[in-house]
Homo-oligomer: A and B are copies of this chain.
Amino acid sequence: MRATLMYGAGDVRVENVPDAAIEQPTDAVVRVVRACVCGSDLHPFHAMPAGEQGQQMGHEFIGVVEEVGSEVSLIARGDFVIAPFAYFDNTCVFCREGLTTSCEHGGFFTTAQAEAVRVPLADGTLVKAPVGEDSALLPSLLTLSDVLITGHHAAVMGQVRPGSSVTVIGDGAVGLLAVLSAKRLGAEQIVLMGRHQVRTDLGRAFGATDVVAERGEEGIAKVRELTGGHGTHAVLECVGYMNAYEMAVGAVRNGGVISRVGVPQYEEAPIGFGSLFGRNVRLAGGPGAQRPYIEELLPEVLDGRIEPGRVFDRTVTLDDTPAGYTAMDERTALKVLVQP
């Protein structure tokens, strides 16, 4: 089958690989109907050392079940399914608490930009959706694989509630869907920090009340100016770089929460008296592939109450996936849909 491989920074190729196949009795094979390129795929696209061995790419997909292992009982051949970017058994102690990214037997998908994917722990991982392959809802359903549940996680971990003031750092797909999620949870003021007008316009459509294009100290000053000098109850950090963390520290209100969902590109950061401790600022967040989120949000996607699929602004064929990486890297596309 055809699959996307990265051989090093800037070097993405689509090649033939062995077909996805059942290996464990709890596996399923899903034929990919839609996949996409993630902002986090751009980190290796910038930094991966060149090598002989290509690495399969992609962790977001929806599709149709082609085959199931002998111990799979909740899904069947022909089902249309959503796969979150992590797989899990949905029965271990962490899964039962709703923290499926910490499943004791789980892991993360790394082969979704392809014609088909082997899905471990299929009963736990896959969520059925009552749609056909030609549904107009496919882009929105695909956001349940990552960017919507990640934006929602940012808002939930940021304890956004009716009346909250919220800053969202980052105008990528996750940032924009963090705006949508904060709005959905009742935030009153949503300040979107981003500088690409097409994106921030979509952010306004999703519920942003203010847009701040400035960065660094200037950006912090703008957020404080918009919030009576105090900063916001929650800052949803949807980027992952240190300068975004520093802006979050500057923009958060005393006693508030910095909720991170951008994968941190740093390990150490300031958390002492002058940054978090003295002001009782809290820090939260992490990977957001929690199955309960999909179950909560799917009905609203199906009935059109939310339209997260609006973040997709380009579609490529599987063979054109490398062009999708380039478009996202050059910011000529916000989020690229891959149609095998």
A: which residues have CB within 8 A of B?
Answer: 93-94, 97, 99, 101-102, 157, 230, 254-255, 260, 263-264, 266-287
Contacts and interface: CB of A to CB of B under 8 A. Distances in A.
A280 B254 CA distance: 22
B275 A286 contact: no
B269 A271 contact: yes
A230 B93 CA distance: 10
Contact of A102 (B99, B276, B280, B285): B280
Contact of A286 (B157, B268, B269, B276): B276
The list of the 3 closest CB pairs from A to B, nearest first, reads A280-B286, A267-B272, A102-B254
Contacts of A254: 94, 99, 102
Contact of A101 (B260, B269, B280, B285): B280
Given A102-B255, A268-B271, A282 B283 contact: yes
A280 B287 contact: yes
Contact of A284 (B94, B99, B282): B282
B255 A94 contact: yes
Nearest to A97: B255
Given A267-B274, A268-B271, A282-B284, 6 more contacts: A102-B254, A102-B279, A264-B271, A268-B272, A276-B286, A280-B284
